[in-house]
Structures are given as structure tokens and as C-alpha cells.
């Protein structure tokens, strides 16, 4: 962790630099299923005739990968393409997939979106019940005996980057089947992260395990849709069952 680029003044590479990607080992205790969906909004390279190309990109990483990528190193890696000639869009996608998969030590998926496709990426409203008007009650997570299937969400979540101490904001979406969660206790639990130092992935996994162990739902899925920093947002998704990556975008993203 002492070699992290995050929080340090670093030179910006002017040409393609795959060696700058910095992997970080994941926690050993991980939920059984899930993905990390990274959305990069500042993607650009040069055509063989020198014309800049602009795009958005989604990087989809299985949560069982042994590593994640340090976010600043990924930003610098993407920036290294800005003055680099790439033969085609497909060459760009294949290059990124090869480099990131190598750093992760697992296969990742790359989705490239050109400007003509951006209209299909418009933010949408979360479908579910917002718990942000519940009263805070500093009691442990709890549930009652009624059995439900529901989606709850909160836009009140904030944590802190463990390296820079900068605030990280997110919309948290919880889908579950089981005994009904006490919404006041749930909101209090999420608000308790307000000064918690943790990477996005670790925060979502900690919340996942707390709900699973205390309330024992039949099924559980938790997603964190974090606002972007450095032109990239990170969206960890964890579940008790096989799922597909959710590419939903929150209005704040």
C-alpha cells in the first residue's frame, strides 16, 4: 500500500503505459457472487490520421478476482492513450482488456460506448423504497417476523477514502427476500459509515456481511453506485446468488 499512486503527485504518461496499472489484493472473505462495474468518462485516443476519438468505457470485474486496480493508476493508464495512435476501436478494446486482465490476474469485460450511443446511458431513477426519511436509531440491524421481497435504497451514504481521507458518496441499493428489515436501523447503519475509511468495494462487502449475518435473509444483493472521482465511478455489487452486472447509472453519476 505504500506504493499507491493515490494521494501522491505523479507524472502523467504521454504515451501508452500499461506498466502503470497497480493491482491491490482483495480481502480474503468475499461474498459468493458479484461484480465491480467501473465507468470511465474520459476515454480518448488518436486515429492513424491524428483525429482524437472520444468515448466512455465500462470495465466489468468479477468480484472473485484476486485483485482490484488502484483507481489513480487506472486513470493514468487511460490518460496514456490520449496521444497514442490506435488503429481501430476494436484494437483499443482488445488492448485494454489484455492489460487490465493481466493486472487483475482474471478475465474482465470491456464495454466501449461512442458518442452516438451515449443517449442509451441516461441516468434512471432507482426502483424501490427510499429510506432516507426514516428516523435515526442507533440500534443494531434487526428485522421482524413478516416475510417480504423488497428493494430499499439510500442516497445518504458517505464514507472516506482510506488513503486521501476525501469523502466518497454513493446511492446504496439493497434487494432481499426474508424477514423484513427495520428501516430505521438500516439507515442508522449506513449513516454510521460517514467517517469510515474504506475503499468502495470493502464498504459494500462489510455492509453485505453485516446484513447477512444479523438478519439471515433468504437472498441478498447490495449495490453501491458511487459518484465519480478523477473521471471514474466505481459500482460494487455483491449477492448471495449468481447475478449479472448492473450498469444502472445514478443521477449523481
DSSP 177-230: EEEEE-HHHHHHHHHTTTT-B--HHHHHHHHHHHHHHHH--SEEEEEEEEPPBT
89 membership: H or E segment, kind and range = helix 89-104
- The model's pTM: 0.91
Active site residue 168: yes
pLDDT confidence of residue 9: 59
pLDDT winner (highest mean) among 4-8, 98-102, 138-142: 98-102
Domain that holds residue 97: 25-120
Based on the domain organization, do 64 and 155 belong to the same domain?
Answer: no
Based on the domain organization, do 195 and 223 belong to the same domain?
Answer: yes
Report whether 100 contacts 122 (CB < 8 A).
Answer: no
Mean pLDDT of the chain: 93
pLDDT confidence of residue 12: 80
Q: Cα separations (Å) of 14 from 37, 78, 83, 88, 148?
A: 26, 11, 6, 19, 54
- CATH number for the domain spanning 160: value is 3.30.1130.10
Residue 6 has pLDDT above 80, yes or no: no
Above pLDDT 90, what percent of the chain? 82
Based on the domain organization, do 180 and 138 belong to the same domain?
Answer: yes
Based on the domain organization, do 42 and 103 belong to the same domain?
Answer: yes
Set of cell numbers at residue 59? 470495465
Q: Tens of pLDDT along 196-234?
A: 999 999 999 999 999 999 999 999 999 999 999 989 999
Active site residue 161: yes
Q: Tens of pLDDT along 174-198?
A: 999 999 999 999 999 999 999 999 9
Of 99, 108, 143, 168, the catalytic one is 168
* Number of folded domains that form the chain: 2
Of 130, 161, 202, 246, the catalytic one is 161
Amino acid at each position: 500500500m505504500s506504493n499507491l499512486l493515490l494521494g501522491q503527485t505523479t507524472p502523467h504518461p504521454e504515451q501508452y503505459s500499461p506498466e502503470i496499472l497497480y493491482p491491490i489484493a482483495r480481502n480474503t472473505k468475499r461474498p459468493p457472487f458479484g461484480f465491480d462495474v467501473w465507468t470511465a468518462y474520459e476515454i480518448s485516443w488518436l486515429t492513424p490520421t491524428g483525429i482524437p476519438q472520444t468515448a466512455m468505457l465500462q470495465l466489468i470485474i468479477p468480484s472473485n478476482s484476486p485483485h482490484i486496480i488502484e483507481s489513480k493508476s487506472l486513470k493514468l493508464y487511460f490518460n496514456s492513450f490520449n496521444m497514442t495512435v490506435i488503429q481501430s476501436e476494436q484494437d483499443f478494446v482488445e488492448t485494454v482488456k489484455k492489460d487490465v486482465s493481466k493486472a487483475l490476474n482474471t478475465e474482465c469485460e470491456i464495454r466501449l460506448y461512442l458518442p452516438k450511443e451515449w443517449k442509451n446511458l441516461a441516468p434512471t431513477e432507482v426502483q424501490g423504497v427510499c429510506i432516507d426519511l426514516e428516523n435515526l436509531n442507533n440500534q443494531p440491524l434487526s428485522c421482524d417476523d413478516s416475510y417480504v421481497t423488497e428493494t430499499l435504497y439510500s442516497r445518504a451514504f458517505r464514507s472516506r477514502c482510506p488513503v486521501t481521507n476525501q469523502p466518497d458518496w454513493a446511492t446504496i441499493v439493497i434487494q432481499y427476500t426474508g424477514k423484513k428489515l427495520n428501516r430505521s436501523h438500516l439507515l442508522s447503519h449506513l449513516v454510521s459509515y460517514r467517517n469510515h475509511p474504506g475503499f468502495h468495494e470493502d464498504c459494500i462487502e462489510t455492509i453485505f456481511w453485516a446484513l447477512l449475518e444479523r438478519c439471515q435473509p433468504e437472498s441478498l444483493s447490495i449495490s453501491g453506485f458511487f459518484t465519480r472521482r478523477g473521471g471514474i465511478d466505481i459500482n460494487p455489487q455483491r449477492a448471495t446468488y449468481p447475478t449479472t452486472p448492473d450498469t444502472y447509472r445514478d443521477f449523481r453519476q
